[in-house]
A and B are shown apart, each in its own frame.
Chain A
């Protein structure tokens, strides 16, 4: 019981501190020249903090047991205090070993996927757009995570590849008549080429120097897009085509000789159809890429990326060619960023250079760092949090940045290495350890 009492006391303290903080921020009102005060809002906020801390304090030991690999057996064995506890724990461990955990993980994944697939049919158009944007940031995060998180190459110009993908779709449509489906792989490839192009001159650079050069590269791409008016349309931007459903358009009145989606299926025209479709395509691409990255991490190439992050000289001493490994990381990350760009252009229907400022690079980098460098799950989670949280906080308008800042500070205190600590892949025959 002492554990629960401790959590309770801890929560009370936290709530008290929260009250002290929130009172001047939200409780004091300036009414003309008079200062009035109110207690309801600060009290409510402090109450919320209390509940959250209490909940966290009670749930955390559970998670701790879970993560320590003991699963249920650890919990149960710790509550047994007798002679038989060891055998009971052993029995439970045998029953709820790694297979149980993987079962939980797989069913959790399926459940998540079901929710994600059914989401667009439940959401309005506004939230659907938010969800699409969130998934685009998931893609960007995954791409940058390869470069920064796995290969350890600090890239501040990642937005360049995003822009290459987006403009690949828009300009490909304008100049070459490419549609979304052709542009999707081509945009990725084009971005990969740009990744290699950037990679070559920076092969010998590390850390800060690399960051500066990549930052410059990002700006160069943006400036070229902005100033090469004849080709890119300059600041006026270019319109981008929308994906077709196996050749069927999503417009109310299709071009002559074409059939529209709603006509083919004989349903009333709905403006939201196209967004649902785009979301679902984006979702499947994201899931596919998450799978690919998961596999890559267990392959020689992925392991070489991580080894390169840890120690380049040691890599060379083992016969790993750092040039190839670095370029492949740049290319792979850039390709994923480019695919994200294609989706961005398609979802907006229009691109112009203002969407590709340094702010975007910083945001994507924040996603990767918040997620825990190198962790795929963490990156996905952070991308969702960073894009969706501000939308929820719109109601708080004035306190939005405050809450966001608080969340950041909290993270740095409790999770300085990111939301999710990258889990090392373990190998079946390694269970002897």
Chain B
């Protein structure tokens, strides 16, 4: 079962071709890793999927319970002449243009973390998780102002869920501490917990183990595996720590110079000569 399918993704920055015809698939309930040398375009792929970049061309389809959705459409791509007809299509494009943006992708069920941690540093750990659950509350401002029963119940549920995740990520002692005061490892974990609080169907982790020591890396690996096995989350991962990648991945996609050079199980990828060449360089003539 495919959850996410990326087809012929192109990304150009002016004349620079960051990605060319990148295609891969992410199966539901699996861990897929994107690896490759520095500058291969891993984070660019991430930014395209999560809507922080607008891909030049290609398609990124996410299959939700209520049908497939084209993520690139949610971004509100520039209108073209072809969009003028039929009217329903035009209306959809205009709506996407007005209200589109990367937040729509998050609402479609794609959550992410960042290579450089981006927490709300002045807010407490619990508040960080509550911000992520904003959609759990009704949109009725008045209900919140008077503290209606429905609002309080929603708040209670949100707090309970946040506390559950905090416990799960061994942060239960840091509930009321500002996120900026936490240790580096704790911040990494809190960021993942925050992404999970949006109730995603696809979780994109950008180097979750960067800057962590061996013990913490092992803990993160265990956590990711548990999320997939017990909570039914699907994980797309960028990571440089090969031990972590080989240990938890079901499927690996190798990028180099913006192109997919290999795909397959960890064992297959490990022995692929093109992957070795990309990482280690080649002797004599190049592979391509």
Contacts and interface: CB of A to CB of B under 8 A. Distances in A.
Interface of A: 292, 295-296, 298-301, 303-304, 306-307, 309-311, 313-323, 422, 424-427, 429-430, 432-433
Interface in B21-57: 50-52
Given A319-B134, A427-B159, A313 B177 contact: no
A146 to B, nearest CB: 14
Contacts of A429: 156, 159-160, 163
B127 interface: yes
Interface in B49-89: 50-52
Contact of B102 (A306, A317, A430, A432): A317
Given A295-B144, A432-B175, A304 B114 contact: no
A307 B106 contact: no
B208 to A, nearest CB: 14
B258 interface: no
A300 B120 CA distance: 14
Contacts of A430: 124, 126, 159, 163, 175-176
B103 A301 contact: no
Nearest to B154: A300
A425 B125 CA distance: 11
Contact of B106 (A292, A300, A304, A319): A319
Majority-rule SS of B interface residues: helix
A307 B123 contact: yes
Contacts of A301: 141, 144
A133 B50 CA distance: 50
B124 A295 contact: no
Given A295-B147, A300-B137, A424-B124, A313 B118 contact: yes
Given A292-B145, A427-B159, A432-B175, A318 B102 contact: no
A311 B119 contact: yes
A306 B122 contact: yes
Contact of B131 (A292, A318, A433): A318
Nearest to A317: B112
A321 to B, nearest CB: 5
The 10 closest A-B pairs by CB, nearest first: A433-B175, A319-B106, A310-B120, A299-B144, A314-B118, A300-B134, A319-B107, A307-B131, A430-B175, A316-B102
B41 to A, nearest CB: 20
Contacts of A315: 103, 131
Contacts of A426: 124, 176
Interface residues of B, number: 48
Given A306-B123, A424-B127, A433 B134 contact: no
A317 B203 CA distance: 11
Contacts of B173: 433
B198 A318 contact: yes
B178 interface: yes
Nearest to A322: B103
Contacts, number: 124
Nearest to A313: B118
Nearest to A69: B176
B111 interface: yes
Given A295-B145, A424-B178, A433-B177, A314 B119 contact: yes
A306 B120 contact: yes
A303 B172 CA distance: 21
B195 interface: yes
Contact of B174 (A306, A313, A433): A433
Given A311-B120, A323-B101, A432-B163, 14 more contacts: A298-B155, A299-B137, A307-B120, A309-B122, A310-B122, A315-B131, A316-B51, A316-B52, A317-B50, A317-B195, A318-B194, A319-B106, A320-B103, A430-B176
Contacts of A320: 103, 131, 134
B121 interface: yes
25 contacts: A295-B144, A295-B147, A299-B144, A300-B131, A300-B134, A301-B144, A306-B122, A310-B121, A313-B114, A314-B120, A315-B131, A316-B102, A316-B106, A317-B102, A318-B132, A319-B134, A319-B135, A320-B103, A321-B103, A424-B122, A424-B123, A424-B178, A427-B126, A430-B176, A433-B175
A314 B52 CA distance: 11
B192 interface: no
Contacts of B121: 310-311
Nearest to B204: A317
A300 to B, nearest CB: 4
Instruction: Determine which residue in A296, A298, A304, A310 has the highest number of CB atoms from chain B within 10 A of its CB, and name it.
Output: A310
Nearest to A299: B144
Contact of B134 (A298, A303, A311): A303
B275 interface: no
Interface in B90-134: 99, 101-104, 106-107, 111-112, 114, 118-124, 126-127, 130-132, 134
A296 B134 CA distance: 13
A348 B230 CA distance: 67
A307 B144 CA distance: 18
Contact of B103 (A299, A300, A307, A319): A319
Contacts of A422: 122
B168 to A, nearest CB: 14
- Among A307, A317, A424, the one with the most B-chain Cβ atoms within 10 Å of its Cβ is A317
B200 to A, nearest CB: 9
Given A321-B99, A425-B127, A432 B120 contact: no
Contacts of B101: 316, 321-323
Contacts of A424: 122-124, 127, 176, 178
Contacts of A296: 144-145
Contacts of B111: 317-318
B145 A433 contact: no
Contacts of A309: 122
A310 B123 contact: yes
Given A318-B194, A432-B175, A433-B173, A313 B120 contact: no
Contacts of B122: 306, 309-310, 422, 424
A233 B135 CA distance: 48
Contacts of B51: 316
Given A318-B132, A320-B134, A424-B127, A433 B172 contact: yes
A380 B149 CA distance: 30
Nearest to B120: A310
Interface string B208-235: 0000000000000000000000000000
Contacts of B124: 424, 426, 430
